[in-house]
């Protein structure tokens, strides 16, 4: 397929394919782009490119929608509201703690979750986050300090009450 032929297909079918994919996919433009890329990568162009594109878009959009539903279900299970099993643990209000955790900058929150809920070492967190182990530790300390301040929980080793 020549670039001119591909451009013609994009101009002629692109908007209709996006509209078609919108029935299933949250990001129909991505689905259509994937279909055109698949067409470009095909060793032999299909006999009927228009029908082929609609079939590929349909299948990809449905797969994407299914993956989105699975992801939403997994995220529902791991929702922050379920980070704490008990609504109050040793005087800690779980709802306030979740809200405070949600307000942390992403790198601090990610470090906190990896360390506290994932049980990862600082070396492992560093490998995941692309930083040094000492940076991971500093992020963890900063996250703990921010949570203590937000929640009004003093540090047990701090001599000032």
99 vs 133: CA distance, rounded Å: 27
Q: What is the DSSP string of 36-74?
A: HHHHHH-SS--SSHHHHHHHHHHHHHHHHHHHHHHHHHH
pLDDT the model gives residue 22: 92
Averaged pLDDT of the chain: 84
144 vs 150: CA distance, rounded Å: 10
CATH number listed for the domain at residues 3-77:
1.10.1740
pLDDT the model gives residue 160: 57
Domain spanning 80-151, CATH class: mainly alpha
> Domain residue spans in the chain?
3-77, 80-151
CA separation, residue 147 to residues 75, 78, 109, 138, 158 (Å): 23, 20, 10, 14, 15
pTM for the complete prediction?
A: 0.50
Q: Whose CA is closest to 61, among 90, 15, 102, 20? A: 20
- pLDDT digits over 80-89, tens only? 555 555 545 5
Share of the chain above pLDDT 70, in %: 84
- pLDDT digits over 98-154, tens only? 788 888 888 898 888 888 878 889 999 999 889 999 999 999 999 999 988 888 877
């Amino acid at each position: 397929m020549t670039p001119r032929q591909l451009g013609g297909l994009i101009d002629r079918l692109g908007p209709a394919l996006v509209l078609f994919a919108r029935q299933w996919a949250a990001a129909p433009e991505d689905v259509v782009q994937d279909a055109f890329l698949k067409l470009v990568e095909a060793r032999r162009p299909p006999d009927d490119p228009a029908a082929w594109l609609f079939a590929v878009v349909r299948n990809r959009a449905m797969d994407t929608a299914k993956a989105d539903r699975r992801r939403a279900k997994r995220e529902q299970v791991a929702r922050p509201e379920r980070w704490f099993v008990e609504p109050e643990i040793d005087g800690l209000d779980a709802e306030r703690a979740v809200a405070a955790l949600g307000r942390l900058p992403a790198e601090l929150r990610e470090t906190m979750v990896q360390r506290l809920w994932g049980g990862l070492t600082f070396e492992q967190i560093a490998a995941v986050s692309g930083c040094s182990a000492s940076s991971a530790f500093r992020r963890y300390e900063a996250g703990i300090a921010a949570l203590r301040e937000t929640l009004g929980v003093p540090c047990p080793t701090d001599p000032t009450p």
